[in-house]
Structure 1
Amino acid sequence: MSRDLTPPAAVQLCYENVNGSCVKTPYSPGPRLLLYVVFGLGAVLAVLGNLLVVTSILHFKQLHSPTNFLLASLACADFLVGVAVMPFSMVRSVESCWYFGRSFCTFHTCCDVAFCYSSLLHLCFISVDRYMAVTDPLVYPTKFTVSVSGICIGVSWILPIMYFGAMLYTGVNDDGLEELSSALNCIGGCQPIINQGWVLVDFLLLVIPICVIIIVYSNIFLVARMQAKKIENARGKKGSSLGSYKTRVAKRERKAAKTLGITVVAFLISWLPYTIESVIDSYMGFITPAYIYEICCWCAYYNSAMNPLIYALFFPWFRKAIQLILSREFLKGHSSATSFGSE
């Protein structure tokens, strides 16, 4: 998708007649409209899809479980990406200019990275939750309680907001790169500049939870495989009611772990290009073309729209909840007690 080429005498600026304005490189009308549709659709899906997830879990009493509360909080992070990040990034990406002021640029960047890391911490706690549920499904309800889930949710929100808020608002992120930051962030620009030291810290903060998630899910699927073999060996033998119940619970927890594992894989695939681009860009003097940066950003943003689609495909309770919400049945007084079977 090519940008319009204009002669030097007709260079367009983000702010005409303003010294220090960024150069504007707009798309032609056709691609411009297409990009607005694609990016706008992602924002709408992120907002509406995650709003359905939060409404479903909070409204229907049967869905009030520690795991689902973590999912609802994760959906809140994705919802906020759709509301507070994607619309403004859409204008920046298509118009190649930032029209919302320097202060809001800092706030927008803080929200962008904080919500990302919040999502990652949610997924990390969800992986630990699934490990406990799969390895010992009968004792799990007494270990991972609603209170424990609440603590995990608090940590997942407070740590990223405090860390990135402190880094961006104190300006330590571009220590030693002040001249480069001034050159890149002309009037009408909003590109975060992070020096090599802080990029390395951010990279480790991303990689460590990812490694924890990979290790935990690897163990989950090993345990699930062993359990499946035991069930297969015990098939045909008359088991106790406790053994039968334990088998059903274990099967349900394994299925939930697989579905949430898909959510984790989707997150990793979506955020990997942006993470790699950020590290390479920092060590190569921020020479990556703007369109590469925007592509990596939108791959990451679209992850916020993907999770509700994954839930709709693999969670029967979510599909039933959507039907009740869209048909407005959930507005009836007794709807909160709706049974979803063995969710």
Structure 2
Amino acid sequence: MYSFMAGAIFITIFGNLAMIVSISYFRQLHTPTNFLILSMAVTDFLLGFAIMPYSMIRSVENCWYFGFTFCKVHYSFDLMLSITSIFHLCSVAVDRFYAICYPLRYSSKMTIPVIKRLLFLCWSVPGAFAFGVVFSEAYADGIDGYAILVACSSSCPVMFNKLWGTTLFMAGFLTPSSIMLGIYGKIFAVSRKHARAISNLPENQNNQMQKDKKAAKTLGIVMGVFLLCWFPCFFTILLDPFLNFSTPVVLFDALTWFGYFNSTCNPLIYGFFYPWFRRALKYILRGKIFSSQFYNTDLFTQK
């Protein structure tokens, strides 16, 4: 178990670190969409670097060695980063919506200041929610015997009551997921219309539209993997208080790790669907990024 989880952590940390370095270093990648992807990679990197190692020890040893205060800090960051990821995906969906459905308005709508405001919301709202709910212990109001469980348990127990379990599922997962599904449904409907008229477009517009569609498809896959990985965990948080907290600890732990693996999958998806990421990774591993002029390299040229 240690070997398997350590492997997932290694891929999560270094895969997302490669994405962060690629977008930060290469000037050609400095676009509004990529800045959102960069911030999402930071989220996945932090999950792999600061959250997953402690969760690995707890899962394998079946014990929490780091005290209840750090348990709350750990769970707060865990919850914050999970919700932050889905907020980023929502922002990316909005970005792709304007790029494909309203291409003439895209450059005026999705500017760098707009991206900065979106990123501020993506980080601040989940952070305020997660730390506020966990450290106020509002999540435990009305749970019989919770204080005794905390005093006697050695496994970092955090259980959401009916109110906050429902709030977390609705506001942190279901609502943004529904918005994303609606947006991507609209994007692919418009894409089909574009496909009929694409032969009449000039070659440069045709190529750009093909790139936008491919980017939307790739990010749609990223969104689908996120929903697949995290839905069982969020749904269990919703149901557990209504089932008198009867979910086995082992099952809940397994579902949490299934959610973590989403952060492991993202750089693998980028590597499979984005040739520019594979080229950037090759240059990083060869150490070429230490050249002062290499940041102007054309990553999109087909070779």
Q: Please give the TM-score of this superposition, normalised by the length of structure 1.
A: 0.85
1:264-297 Cα shifts (integer Å, max 9, x gaps)? 0000000011012111212111111111011100
- Looking at secondary structure, tell me which structure has more helix per residue: 2
Instruction: Look up the match of 1:46.
Output: 12
Matches within 5 A, 1:97-246: 97-177=63-143, 179-183=145-149, 186-205=152-171, 206-232=173-199, 234=200, 243-246=202-205
* Matching of residue 87 in structure 1 with residue 64 in structure 2: no
1:132-158 Cα shifts (integer Å, max 9, x gaps)? 001122431222111111111111001
CA distance in 2, matches of 1:167, 1:184: 17
Count of equivalent residues: 301
Percent identity reads 35
CA distance in 2, matches of 1:119, 1:185: 32
Q: 203-212 vs 130-139, which deviates more?
A: 130-139
Asked if the contact 1:137–1:249 (Cα under 8 Å) also holds between the matched residues in 2, the reply is no
Instruction: Look up the match of 1:314.
Output: 273
RMSD of the TM alignment (CA)? 1.4
CA distance in 1, matches of 2:107, 2:294: 25
1:102-134 Cα shifts (integer Å, max 9, x gaps)? 110000000111000000000000001001001
Alignment gaps of 5+ in structure 2: none
Q: Please give the TM-score of this superposition, normalised by the length of structure 2.
A: 0.96
Alignment gaps of 5+ in structure 1: 1-34
* Aligned residue type for 2:178: C
* Aligned residue type for 2:142: G
CA distance in 1, matches of 2:98, 2:141: 43
Instruction: Look up the match of 1:253.
Output: 212
Q: Residue 225 of structure 2: which of 251, 262, 266 is its match?
A: 266
Asked if the contact 1:66–1:146 (Cα under 8 Å) also holds between the matched residues in 2, the reply is yes
When Rg is computed on C-alpha atoms for both structures, the one with the higher figure is 1
* Aligned residue type for 2:207: R
- Deviation at residue 246 of structure 1 after TM alignment: 2.3
Asked if the contact 1:56–1:322 (Cα under 8 Å) also holds between the matched residues in 2, the reply is yes
Instruction: Look up the match of 1:77.
Output: 43
CA distance in 2, matches of 1:185, 1:83: 29
Instruction: Look up the match of 1:15.
Output: none
1:151-178 Cα shifts (integer Å, max 9, x gaps)? 1111100100011111111111101115
Asked if the contact 2:51–2:78 (Cα under 8 Å) also holds between the matched residues in 1, the reply is yes
CA distance in 2, matches of 1:152, 1:65: 14
* Aligned residue type for 1:310: I
Asked if the contact 2:275–2:300 (Cα under 8 Å) also holds between the matched residues in 1, the reply is no
